[in-house]
Amino acid sequence: MRGPFDVARQLDVLTGRGHVVSDIGRWLAAGGLAVAITSGAIAPAGLASAEPCPDVQVIFARGTFEASGLGAVGHAFTDSLRAKLPEKTVEVHPVAYPASLDFATAADGVVDASQEITNTVSRCPNTDIVLGGYSQGAAVAAYVTADAVPEGYILPPGITGPMPAAAAEHVAAVALFGKPSNEFLRMIHNSAPPLTVGSRYAGKTVDECLPEDPVCSPAGRDRGAHGAYPSSGLTDRAADYVVSKLM
């Protein structure tokens, strides 16, 4: 088991600076806060209701330390998606999970997102599902798509295995923003399974990563880039991609 100083030394390799492990949280949180300031309120809007079935159901997992709801990146993405689909009803489900520095609790988000997909397929089989996430939430979304449980990995409570193959047919698109690289993931939780989008979803996934973002790009050095997905236009671009999959 590596101690916080071991993690800090490895983080120094990525960033060129010496930071204690708690700076990882401030790093991830600062990106979300910066986006929230520029994009306005981040309280969830248009929450999914049982009736009637929407044309599109967005299931989105927020980033670390963002308040419960969609998070700023999730709001920017879904607002753009709604604007591009004026003739369709678009409802959202903010994934319920702690979004804390305890990365093991990301499993709570995998459980919630998987259950919401299953419930939507059962209740509204003609609804197109869009799965998404930002930062730690992008890891949650990616895990939901997994083809198989990694060998030797013990599943946490609430997860019995991968999503049923039939569920993938109802997921029209997956949108990921600032998904942690496996190098970054090993630093914050060295027992976490690697992040790989499953084969049933890979062909309909947009995985946005700014080259300067050290969370998703091993060559990145600009911590501020992690919160720049709306201002860089990448939430808009991802919405365009999703719309192309819905048509």
3-class DSSP string for the chain: CCCHHHHHHHHHHHHCCCCCCHHHHHHHHHHHHHHHHHHCCCCCCCECCCCCCCCEEEEEECCCCCCCCCHHHHHHHHHHHHHHCCCCCEEEEECCCCCCCCHHHHHHHHHHHHHHHHHHHHHCCCCEEEEEEECHHHHHHHHHCCCCCCCCCCCCCCCCCCCCHHHHHHEEEEEEECCCCHHHHHHHCCCCCCCCCCHHHHCCEEEECCCCCCCCCCCCCCHHHHHCCCCCCHHHHHHHHHHHHHC
The catalytic position among 114, 181, 226, 236 is 226
Known catalytic residue: 22? no
What is the per-residue pLDDT across 187-229, written as a single tens digit (0 to 9) for each?
888 888 889 999 999 999 999 999 999 999 999 999 999 999 9
pLDDT band at 141 (very low <50, low <70, confident <90, very high): very high
Question: Is 213 part of the annotated catalytic residue set?
Answer: yes
Compute the distance between CA of residue 168 and CA of residue 142 in angstroms, rounded to an integer: 13
Q: Which of 114, 213, 217, 236 is catalytic?
A: 213
Partners of 134 in the beta sheet? Answer: 177
pTM of the predicted model over 0.85: no
In this model, does residue 171 exceed pLDDT 80? Answer: yes
Name the active-site residue from 114, 135, 181, 217. 135
The arithmetic mean of pLDDT across residues 33-62, rounded, is 62
Q: How does pLDDT run across 113-140, given as a tens digit for each residue?
A: 999 999 999 999 999 999 999 999 999 9
Q: What is the pLDDT of residues 55-100, one digit of tens each?
A: 999 999 999 999 999 999 999 999 999 999 999 999 999 999 999 9
Per residue in 7-29, pLDDT (tens digit) is 333 333 333 333 333 343 444 44
Let me know if 226 is a catalytic residue.
yes
Cα separation, 144 vs 135, whole angstroms: 15
